A and B are shown apart, each in its own frame.
Chain A
Amino acid sequence: MTPLFLNTHDVYLWTTIILAVGLSIKTLELWRESSEFNPGGSFDWQIVGRDSMLVSQFQGVLRSIYSRNGMLIIFSTSLLSFFGLVVFGPFVPHWGLFRIFFILLAVSNLFVYYRQGFGLDGADQMSMVILLTTLFCFIPTDSQTIHLIGIFFITAQLFLSYLVSGIAKLISTEWRSGLAIQGILSTYTYGTSITRDIFTNRKKLSQVVCWMVIVLEIIYPAAIFLDIPYIYGAVIAGILFHVSIAVLMGLNDFVWGFSSAYPSLIFATYLI
């Protein structure tokens, strides 16, 4: 079977494209809610950036950057870089321009990441890890060794995310008893009327689903030892897991944030 990624450049190319799709959706979502960045809005920088304001030497600059207008410029830069990456990545390959657009994507989204503080989720964290790793391990160098350090690092963070999450669930009585799925999917925040109907009075089903999640997350790192055709099965299972979370709980950004780590997993598997 022909490997999906022939070299480290391919890995970083597809990591970046997948991540950029997710970050563009996030950017458009934030754009739609951009009035919340105004003074008095829910994401007013004077409030959400309170900790930063206290320690920062650059309060005035940050206040301008993190105003609504500043955020709209950051969002525009992020969206522009997405188009640049798509054009100069797979369609009209040009690594120089690709790198420039990646720097724009990374810088604009790191500004967004550091503005939030409250309201960040696991997908934001995974995106930050991948942006910084690509920024330092791929953009400034053609060293294969440094590219591989980045690829193994992303794979390690992906495995760690599943393993830690699985172990944290395993030690939780709510997860072992099935109460966690019942509780989460019975809320109006994460659940729907369908999930409430399905899980409210079905304790056994909830327990089975909880244990499936625990086992999947704990054994997932073993995927590194799979042969080439089977690793694709593990990747599809991982993506379906995140898609199911998006459908059931509305956590859409996990699909893109975590899927963008899969090219690294696949390539690491080739090497092992």
Chain B
Amino acid sequence: MNAIEIVYTCVFSLWIAFTIAWQFDFVRKRKTWLRKINFLNILPIWTFFAPKPGMYDTHILIREKSQDGTISDWEEIPVCEPRRLLHSVWNPTKRKNKLVVDAISQVKSIKNAGELNKIPEDVVQNQIRFSKGYLTLLNIVVQKKNLFPNSTARQFAVFDATHISGTRNLIPLFVSPFHLL
């Protein structure tokens, strides 16, 4: 082996070693040096749907306030397209759905961390509102056309839904404040 081949062996062995370490949740949370190494996002997470499988559909609902203070009914923004066989080869909308799931997941984790560390509610709410996840959701929400011609503000709510027993079970996750339009 020449020097270059030895360098390659070391680099790729380290890549595998760091990938193994990166699979552990506590490593991803606590090992800041590994997070710095992974600034280019080259360490994959291979846990796919485990240990907590994604057994939920996500629902985003919006409602609006008009100039005279009237509040509309809740209306759903479709997040996922009904599944078709074609999706086994062609599924362009799945990324938008994954975007929403990841965004909600970030908001949930900020909320859970706040509860766990007993951080004051207003601080947690501020952390959430300035997070990428929340702003991603807000960005999707504000795309929707107004429900009232003279709407002044819009609020959104996020729900998870399971259908395990054949009946729909809705789990409220959070409700935003009204955002000016």
Contact = CB atoms under 8 A, between A and B. Distances in A.
Contact of B46 (A136, A160, A184): A160
Contacts of B103: 118
The 6 closest A-B pairs by CB, nearest first: A183-B55, A250-B87, A172-B51, A168-B50, A125-B44, A29-B92
10 contacts: A118-B136, A157-B44, A168-B50, A171-B51, A180-B55, A187-B162, A188-B83, A200-B166, A246-B87, A252-B89
B44 A129 contact: yes
A126 B19 CA distance: 12
A165 interface: yes
Contacts of A251: 91, 94
Contacts of A205: none
A164 B12 contact: no
B interface, size bucket: 35 or more
Contacts, number: 204
A212 interface: no
Interface of B: 1, 4-5, 8-9, 12, 15-16, 19-20, 23, 40-42, 44-58, 80, 82-83, 85, 87-99, 101-103, 106, 132-133, 135-136, 139-140, 142-143, 161-166
Interface of A: 25, 28-30, 32-33, 36, 40-44, 47-48, 50-51, 113-114, 116-122, 125-126, 128-129, 132-133, 136-137, 141, 143, 145-146, 149-150, 153, 156-157, 160-162, 164-165, 168-169, 171-172, 174-175, 179-180, 182-184, 186-192, 196, 200-201, 243, 246-247, 250-252
